[in-house]
Amino acid sequence: MSEKFICPRSRIDGRPFEAEWRANRTCSYDGSMHPDDFMDYVRAGKEVGSTDKAYKFYASADGFGKFYTPHLSEEQAWEFHELWTAGSINFGMFQPYVPIYLPGVLARLNREAEES
């Protein structure tokens, strides 16, 4: 039995839902792929598809499907931000064209700006 958790996207939707990771490593609330799998996918240089949503990407080259950024830990979100800033994410033909929600990244950037 998978460990239960409150899906972070369900909190944003205003209806906290106790979810679990299914056998195929997708969230039982929103169908998002597991954040560890998404970050492995990104690190491997596979194509990450942008959407018109600030919190959603497609990772379909291997048939995974969709990923919702609220599932990232702050550490994973920061790593994603650093990879993106370094130009190391394969967005294919379309870079994201909406501001992307990455948990904790904006707060960290603001803290670092205040400290400098």
Distance of CA 35 to the CA centre of its chain: 6
Distance CA(55)–CA(51), nearest Å, equals: 9
Per the structure, the complete domain to which residue 57 belongs is given by: 4-115
Number of domains present in the structure of the chain: 1
Query: Are the CB atoms for 55 and 92 separated by under 8 Å?
Result: no
Lowest-confidence range among 1-10, 38-47, 70-79? 1-10
How does pLDDT run across 54-66, given as a tens digit for each residue? 999 998 766 668 9
Its pTM stands at: 0.88
Query: Are the CB atoms for 5 and 18 separated by under 8 Å?
Result: yes
CB atoms within 10 A of CB 92: 13
